[in-house]
């Protein structure tokens, strides 16, 4: 079917073939943040704001060894925590959010990261993107679609959304993507964005979905 479609076809018709081709190209697509549980993923995702996943992954092994649970983070010395996460940028605000989120996790959720959107959004430093990361990757719950800078860029280039606001892009993607693909869609677009569809120099000749991409035809 993908061979018959063109980039001019409606997004709802192209999304299936796009997903199939990206699944074949990136069978190892997954969350790039190293973690062993929902709390580690939550903290790593907070740290990843305005920072590369690679940098976060260099910081978190020592961080998680020093603070193994939510109570340890909540009761940490703020200056020490800031020093450990300094290289991720915006470290003061991130340390504050991590401590406040973990304090609420201890006080309200018995030390366990909650598994609903509303509860996650009640935590400091957590907006829809972070909540979707935790729900999808840690709890395998497709409550929404993660829209980071890669997903935003590719959604626009592929003509899957004309919006700029991440929440509106998420709604556009949800409307055309089968719910069982919501989690994988983000992983696949992020992998493709990093390896092929670069922000400045997209490798259109080496792209497996170029025939389905309006930007590649421009």
Residue 148 shares a structural domain with residue 197: yes
The answer, yes or no, to whether residue 204 has pLDDT greater than 60, is yes
The answer, yes or no, to whether residue 169 has pLDDT greater than 70, is yes
Q: What mean pLDDT is predicted for residues 44-62?
A: 97
Share of the chain above pLDDT 90, in %: 98
Residue 129 shares a structural domain with residue 57: yes
| Model pLDDT, residue 2 | 41
Domain that holds residue 197: 11-30+144-217
| Model pLDDT, residue 36 | 98
Task: Give me the catalytic one of 129, 143, 172, 184.
Answer: 129
| Model pLDDT, residue 218 | 82
Residue 42 shares a structural domain with residue 24: no
In this structure, what CATH number is given to the domain that contains residue 176?
1.10.1670.10
DSSP 47-93: HTTTS-HHHHHHHHHHHHHH--SHHHHHTS-HHHHHHHHGGGSSHHH
Residue 125 shares a structural domain with residue 158: no
Q: Determine contact, residues 58/33, Cβ cutoff 8 Å.
A: no
93-147 pLDDT tens trace = 999 999 999 999 999 999 999 999 999 999 999 999 999 999 999 999 999 999 9
The answer, yes or no, to whether residue 65 has pLDDT greater than 60, is yes
Q: What mean pLDDT is predicted for residues 176-191?
A: 98
Looking at the domain assignment, is residue 3 inside a domain? Answer: no
End-to-end CA distance of the chain: 22
Looking at the domain assignment, is residue 4 inside a domain? Answer: no
pTM over 0.75: yes
| Model pLDDT, residue 1 | 42
CA–CA distance, 44 with 20 (Å, rounded to integer): 29
Task: Give me the catalytic one of 53, 143, 148, 172.
Answer: 148
Is residue 94 flagged as an active site residue? no
Share of the chain above pLDDT 70, in %: 99
CA–CA distance, 179 with 115 (Å, rounded to integer): 18
Residue 133 shares a structural domain with residue 48: yes
Is residue 96 flagged as an active site residue? no
71-97 pLDDT tens trace = 999 999 999 999 999 999 999 999 999
Residue 58 shares a structural domain with residue 113: yes
Residue 106 shares a structural domain with residue 150: no
Q: Indicate the pLDDT class of residue 156, thresholds 50, 70 and 90.
A: very high
């Amino acid at each position: 079917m993908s061979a018959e479609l063109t980039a001019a076809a409606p997004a709802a018709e192209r999304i299936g073939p796009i997903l199939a081709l990206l699944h074949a190209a990136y069978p190892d697509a997954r969350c790039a943040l190293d973690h062993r549980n929902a709390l580690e993923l939550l903290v790593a995702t907070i740290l990843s704001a305005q920072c590369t996943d690679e940098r976060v992954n260099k910081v978190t092994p020592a961080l998680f060894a020093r603070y193994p649970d939510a109570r340890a983070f909540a009761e940490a010395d703020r200056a020490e925590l800031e020093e450990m996460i300094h290289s991720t940028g915006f470290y003061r605000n991130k340390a504050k959010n991590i401590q406040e989120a973990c304090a609420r996790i201890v006080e309200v959720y018995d030390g366990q990261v909650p598994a609903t959107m509303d509860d996650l959004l009640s935590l400091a430093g957590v907006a829809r993107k972070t909540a979707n990361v935790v729900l999808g990757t840690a709890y395998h719950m497709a409550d929404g679609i993660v829209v980071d800078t890669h997903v935003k860029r590719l959604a626009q280039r592929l003509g899957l959304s004309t919006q700029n606001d991440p929440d509106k892009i998420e709604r556009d993607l949800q409307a055309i993507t089968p719910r069982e693909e919501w989690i994988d869609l983000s992983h696949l677009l992020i992998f493709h964005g990093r390896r092929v569809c670069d922000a400045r120099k997209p490798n259109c000749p080496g792209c497996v979905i170029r025939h389905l991409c309006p930007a590649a035809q421009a």
